[in-house]
A and B are shown apart, each in its own frame.
Chain A
Amino acid sequence: EVQLLESGGGLVQPGGSLRLSCAASGFTFSSCPMSWVRQAPGKGLEWVSGISDSDGSTYYADSVKGRFTISRDDSKNTLYLETNSLRLEDTAIYYCAKVRNYFYFGMDVWGRGTTVTVSS
């Protein structure tokens, strides 16, 4: 069974940092592009970042560019999102998602999310 399990969320002050992790199982992680998608309280989904499988190319939404860094460790089947200079508006549930072969096909499997709360 394909599973994604996020962790690392929590309460952080504005300007602070958190590293989110996503442990993958049930598929060949190293062969799959991956993405992070977030959802602020009561709001819609927002694509945040993606990383390719082949060459590790990374992609970011303008709202997080320069502050967030996506990475992966294929030896540990784990996806990461380093979040820095956090703002109140970064408060959200962060979902890890497996990309269906190519980024243009979108996400096919989702984790249950980890909650990040930015507050003083």
Chain B
Amino acid sequence: QTVVTQEPSFSVSPGGTVTLTCGLSSGSVSISYYPSWYQQTPGQAPRTLIYSTNTRSSGVPDRFSGSILGNKAALTITGAQADDESDYYCALYMGSGISVFGGGTKLTVL
């Protein structure tokens, strides 16, 4: 069974830079998995940030960026702000219409 891995939690200082990662329990993440990233604050629906590894969704500030770092997908937030404090989820496309989400990373800005 494919497991998508994310750091359970991370913290960043206001104005700082943080990189969250998205890996596979077995194997490497590549652009062929079309990694996407979603932001969710408590009680709200998810919001799409990044798709196809590094393309920002409409209206997403350019301080959010996606990439492949080594064998993982990565979401980098540059110049973190207080309202970036959220849960962040990655999803990988497994083929045949199926996507798998990671367990999510709870980001604290303090």
Q: Which residues of A contact B (CB under 8 A)?
A: 33, 35, 37, 44-47, 50, 52, 57-59, 61-62, 95, 100, 103-113
Partner of B34, one of A50, A57, A106: A106
Tell me if A45 and B101 are in contact (CB < 8 A).
yes
B49 to chain A, nearest CB (A): 10
**B87 surroundings in chain A (CB, below 8 A):** 44
Total interface residues in chain B, CB < 8 Å: 25
Q: Does B96 contact A (CB under 8 A)?
A: yes
One of B10-18, B20-28, B40-48 at the interface: B40-48
Given contacts A104-B34, A110-B46, contact A47 B91 (CB under 8 A): yes
A38 to chain B, nearest CB (A): 10
**B38 surroundings in chain A (CB, below 8 A):** 45, 107
Tell me if A105 and B36 are in contact (CB < 8 A).
yes
B34 to chain A, nearest CB (A): 4
Given contacts A95-B45, A108-B57, A112-B45, contact A47 B101 (CB under 8 A): yes
Q: Which residues of B contact A (CB under 8 A)?
A: 1, 34, 36, 38, 40, 45-48, 51-52, 57, 87, 89, 91, 93, 96-104
Q: List 5 A-B contacts (CB under 8 A).
A: A59-B96, A100-B51, A105-B51, A112-B45, A113-B45
Cα distance, A33 to B96, chains bound together (Å): 13
Tell me if B34 and A52 are in contact (CB < 8 A).
no
Tell me if B47 and A59 are in contact (CB < 8 A).
no
Tell me if B46 and A105 are in contact (CB < 8 A).
no
Tell me if A59 and B98 are in contact (CB < 8 A).
yes
B80 to chain A, nearest CB (A): 22
Cα distance, A108 to B46, chains bound together (Å): 10
